A and B are shown apart, each in its own frame.
Chain A
């Protein structure tokens, strides 16, 4: 694909977003919606820039990011570990598979009241909820990635004298990396969503809390600002993960 084709693709992609903003602007400037219901986009973005400079807003972002990363890291470590173990050992698989089948479709948000009662209203309950929600996509894609590794690769490594306990880390793990990273991407989006929801339910800090306080006082402008911020955070983190992916998979053909 040449440069010109790519630029028309990008332009085409901007059209619906621009249209959305235009309709938003139109509705509010022609007076179909009062300011209190739908503030014009310019006002919202001004407010966003203005808020980003303030101390409280930065602290809210830091609190949210901390919970997000803590939960997500726990999910990655547990998910990749358990996924690899289940792919490598039939005994572990026999135990893990039914438990995952029961727990994966369980709506984790429903567990949140229990976590609140057990772990309190601070960071812990939110981190555990994020980890529980992000865990299963990562675990499942690690497991599928690791069980799809070509048997020939393992045989070749064994023929070349690799000890059995090293095969897992030298052959299976690298071969499963594309699939693991796909799982991480899904897990990351879920983490963004869940951390925000948890903060909306009960919190004294964080972006979700800002949204709830704005909603209670009917400050429509302040309600849009945390939403846009979490969306931007999600996009940034997604782009970082994408960069990590193309770095880690730099030898692989087309992924």
Chain B
């Protein structure tokens, strides 16, 4: 490729500006403007692509609404009730509280589409519960919250799967269904690892909750436990669009916190709106930049070129998937996940398509990779968040994360090798792929 061609310069500018510390969204817009200028095209095209793209991608509205739903959930006392219920379920085993942490994340994953929201919501509470009386080391507790939060966007609802649906033109409903079993599998391998090390590390056991307490605890947590049912019910019965299902989820979360648990004030609602809006702006700017940059990618026909290039190597679908896994895992160590999803994955898609890889399977594999990237050093947003919440050194945290990373990558390999793990549920509900 000619290094002084407009496209090369556009990519160089994008990478250079990002490395200099410019927000990635701006870097993509600025790089694209440079491209338009070099090509002698109308520089108003950047505005046109951004505005029309944002204005017509109705599906994207699910993102702020899912964020809002998670914020409403976090602002009420829902988390306390959920934790008591999880404790009744698995607290009695060795390493009980550690297991509670994972089960809580699985349940919360069914209500929220964001891993960082899960860690922010339960992180502090879980940390103080687990480290009280020196039960667990702070680093282990923090590492566990980080890795279990990874499940949030794999089990539906999921913000990254909504983004993937947008770039790949795949049904959100089937993608969500495809995430269920991989998400549970990741939860199971984490719980298995805890059970396996519990005796050696002498993890404590929580006092068993008597059976007669169970109905009351379940009743208290019931409205929260119903959230995934309502959300997925809305989606799969076809009553609402995915975006409307997200709005319903947010409304339900608000109603449960406000009326049933009476734990939300107007101030909390306003605070949730501001927090959600800030996150929306941050991710929205990245989407805006990607819309402009994707125009350049399309004009230059890059994905097709890459696909043609790779065709010469006569890769098998499996080899290609494994290569994709390795690339995404490495990128996940250095880049923020949304950037990978919006910039790198679209380039990988046409080849996957040409090789006959199922788009739902490919999407779930890509998202699991990107989520694992949230806990891989040196750059892992969940690690940074837990360092802040738990006040533990990054090195100690990373050491405790490593074994979990191992089993999660094992589970990822299984998900990659056995497409049925992803596709069984979507096919059961009518997916033809």
A and B from one complex: no
Chain B residues packing against A (C-beta within 8 Å): none
Contacts from A to B (Cβ < 8 Å): none
